[in-house]
Amino acid sequence: GAGVSQSPSNKVTEKGKDVELRCDPISGHTALYWYRQRLGQGLEFLIYFQGNSAPDKSGLPSDRFSAERTGESVSTLTIQRTQQEDSAVYLCASSLNRGNTEAFFGQGTRLTVV
Amino acid sequence: AQSVTQPDIHITVSEGASLELRCNYSYGATPYLFWYVQSPGQGLQLLLKYFSGDTLVQGIKGFEAEFKRSQSSFNLRKPSVHWSDAAEYFCAVGAPGGATNKLIFGTGTLLAVQP
């Protein structure tokens, strides 16, 4: 596609439910990032995929968070047993390769846990 | 691992005034450096980037930034601010080479522009 696409754009869920967020990167981009942006705060790194290498999961805040990516295609971020503090905008970005060329961001998924 | 600090959380300038947003990084070698802008309700847009070469880089919308190795800084500047520049600005640092090249972002500087 023309840009990074994220779905859903908004998600309201009840505390304790699982949610799955999807990211479609730009075709041909080998690097994919997930970030979390809480209201009024900066971007918190969650996880980074680079091609077929083992992902860098060092930013995942707890074992309730996980992410997958098959090859250089779609990625899903899963949050199990959601908590109110998980409420945030989850941003996905992709870039051409591991050389840290420009990262292109999606519009994000706004997650609200009630 | 790399890190980045944006010391100013919130800055207000008058329209037409000059602007400088500060960014300091921590990395053992020359990093990749970026400035992004996030306008209200919009996604993040790249303003400019530094990989190597000329330490003064020009970006879109009249912005520029200067890489100063001695100060571990990459401050963003604009000679004359427009009301449409009101937004949040993020500095980011990436690590060239190595197994992990994740981009680390600062906490952002919120810019308000007074008429």
Please tell me the total number of residues recorded for chain A in this structure: 114
Cα dihedral sign for B3, A3, A91, A93? negative
Dihedral (CA of B81, B85, B91, B96) sign:
negative
Residue B12 tokens read as 């207000």
* The residue to which tokens 């992410």 are assigned: A67
In the predicted model, is pLDDT for residue A1 greater than 60?
A: no
pLDDT band at B64 (very low <50, low <70, confident <90, very high): very high
C-alpha separations of A71 from A7, A20, A49, B59, B115 in Å: 19, 19, 9, 33, 50
Q: What is the mean pLDDT of residues B65-76?
A: 96
Residues of B in contact with A106 (CB under 8 A): 43
With H, G, I as helix, E, B as strand and everything else as coil, classify residue B79.
Answer: coil
What is the structure's pLDDT at B98?
52
For chain A, which residues lie within 8 Å of any Cβ of chain B, measuring from their own Cβ?
31, 33, 35, 41-43, 45, 48, 50, 53, 56, 59, 91, 93, 98-100, 102-103, 105-108
pLDDT at A40: 77
A and B: number of Cβ contacts within 8 A: 57
